[in-house]
Structure 1
Amino acid sequence: MDDETIGVALVVASAIGFGTLGIFGVLAAEEGLSIPTVLALRFAIAGLVVWAVLWLRGRLRRLRGRMLAIAFALGAVGYATQSGLYFLGLEFMTAGMVAIVLYTYPAFVVCLVAVAHPDRVTTTLLIALGLSIGGVALITGADPAGADPRGILVVLGAALAYSLYIVVSQRALETVDAETLTAFVLPAAAMSFVLFGAGTDTLALPSTATAWGVTLAIAVVATAIPVLTFFAGITKVGASRASIISTAEPGVTVALGALVLGEPVTAVTIVGGALVVTGVVLIQREGG
């Protein structure tokens, strides 16, 4: 296969991997695992895998000073907040619905950019923003089977946190590559949940083989592998195209939610999700 085909395949694999996160999150909750436990182990194990792969490839770099502090803040505050709210959202809504609502984060990025640089907001971006908001509004107003108002607010909070994470990390990526930054973000996020779990007495190791299996799947299948394959895909097809291909992620979650968890998928869910994804594609094309 040529490089382009391999690149597309890698990004699709990444989208599928990330798309399993909500499914494994629901299964983890069914096993009685707390959110701090799941996420502390998720980021710690995924961090070890990423560090090992980068070391074997001779690409492991150390961060110092200001860049180390930025990476720590991105992980301990930004990524940790986004992930915590994402998993909290799974307690109120279906995995598919959570994935769709989270995917409004590019719209939040547009809003943040508009505040700082109004001149960069185009008609296309405004249309994309309207489509994303319209998709969520449609789902919230017409699909009570999957949409809980509390869950919508929680996951929108996750989307906002993720958009802030992206805006800050984009500045950091001007001086450090994405793989290295991620290698430091992951353990910082793990530390955040270790401290939170210890402080709230909600941290405990999985007690069954099934619980460990789900935890490892979240860390490896839904985190480390998609992170690495996404970066590998970017080198072959470019960041803009990779971002557009990755919009398959919420569709994967919706499909797996229906197949594995028996979650309801209505026409409204499909239409609303399509509006959100269309908005994301327009944003990525405009930004690329």
Structure 2
Amino acid sequence: MDDESVGMLLVFISAAGFATLGVLGIVAAEEGISIPTVLSLRFLLASAIVWAVLWYGERLTLLTGRSLRYAIALGAVGYASMSGMYFLGLEFMTAGMVGIVLYTYPAFVVCFALLVRPERVTRILLLALGLTIAGVSLITGANPAGADPRGVAVVLVGAFAYAAYITLSQRVLRTTSPEVLTAHVLPAAAVTFILVGTATDSLALPETALGWGTVAAIAAIATAVPVLTFFAGIQRLGASRASIISTVEPGVTVLLGAVFLGEPVTAAIVAGGVLIVTGVLLIQRGSD
């Protein structure tokens, strides 16, 4: 395989890995594992994997000063908020639905950018935002297969938080690599959920082999592996092309939910998902 094909494969593996998060999150809930416990273990184990890989590849750098403070804030507040809302959304909706609604975050990123530079408003971006909103409205209005409006609202908050995280992280990325930033964001997010779990008395280690296996899969398959393969793919394809390929993620989430959890796939889900992904692709084009 040539370098471009390898890059495409890496990004697809990343998207597929992230897509497993919803299904695994539902399994963890069925095993009685609390959200703070799942996310504390997720970020602790994923941190260990990412740090080990970067150290082995001699790419690990310790952040200091302002960069370190930004990274801690991004992890403890931004990434933690998105993750918490995602898992909370799974209590109201199917894994596929949560994956689709979360994928509205590029629209929020564009909105943030337009607030700073309104001159960049184009017809393509306006059309993209319209399609994204229409997709969410279709899913919510049709109320298919567990599209609880409360869940949609929760996950949209998560998408907003993720967009803010992406936007604010650009300041740190001017002086450090995405991999190194992620290596500092993950443990910061872990601390947040350890504190939340301690305050709510909801931390408890999994009691079954399935529970431990699910948490390990969330940390490795749905977090560390996709993070590392996505960055490796970017190095071969560039950020724009890698982002376009990653739009398969919500579709894979819907497929996994249908296969492993028996979640129904209705016409409204498919149509809403297509509108959102089309909007994301137009956003990529309009932002180039």
Q: How does 1:107-122 map to 2 (within 5 A)?
A: 107-122=107-122
Alpha-carbon distance in 2 for matches of 1:207, 1:68? 36
1:269: which partner in 2? 269
Alpha-carbon distance in 2 for matches of 1:84, 1:121? 32
- Normalised to the residue count of structure 1, the TM-score between the two structures is 0.99
* 1:59 alignment partner, SS class: coil
* 1:183 alignment partner, SS class: helix
Q: How does 1:131-210 map to 2 (within 5 A)?
A: 131-210=131-210
Q: Which amino acid aligns with 1:261?
A: L
Alpha-carbon distance in 2 for matches of 1:284, 1:171? 20
CA contact (8 A) 1:240 1:287 kept: no
1:33: which partner in 2? 33
Alpha-carbon distance in 1 for matches of 2:285, 2:259? 32
Identity %, equivalent residues: 67
Alpha-carbon distance in 1 for matches of 2:220, 2:196? 22
* 2:202 alignment partner, SS class: coil
Alpha-carbon distance in 2 for matches of 1:101, 1:120? 25
Q: How does 1:1-288 map to 2 (within 5 A)?
A: 1-288=1-288
Runs of 4+ more than 3 Å apart: none
Pairwise CA distance, 1:262: 0.3
* 1:169 alignment partner, SS class: helix
Pairwise CA distance, 1:228: 0.3
Alpha-carbon distance in 2 for matches of 1:147, 1:13? 27
CA contact (8 A) 1:143 1:269 kept: no
Alpha-carbon distance in 2 for matches of 1:133, 1:225? 31
Unaligned runs of 5+ in 2: none
Pairwise CA distance, 1:113: 1.2
CA contact (8 A) 1:14 1:229 kept: yes
Alpha-carbon distance in 2 for matches of 1:94, 1:170? 32
Pairwise CA distance, 1:120: 1.3
CA contact (8 A) 2:135 2:274 kept: yes
Pairwise CA distance, 1:171: 1.9
CA contact (8 A) 1:146 1:264 kept: no
CA contact (8 A) 1:75 1:189 kept: yes
- Normalised to the residue count of structure 2, the TM-score between the two structures is 0.99
Q: Which amino acid aligns with 1:224?
A: A
Alpha-carbon distance in 1 for matches of 2:120, 2:41? 40
Alpha-carbon distance in 2 for matches of 1:6, 1:47? 25
Alpha-carbon distance in 2 for matches of 1:285, 1:246? 14
Pairwise CA distance, 1:208: 1.1
Pairwise CA distance, 1:285: 2.0
RMSD: 0.7
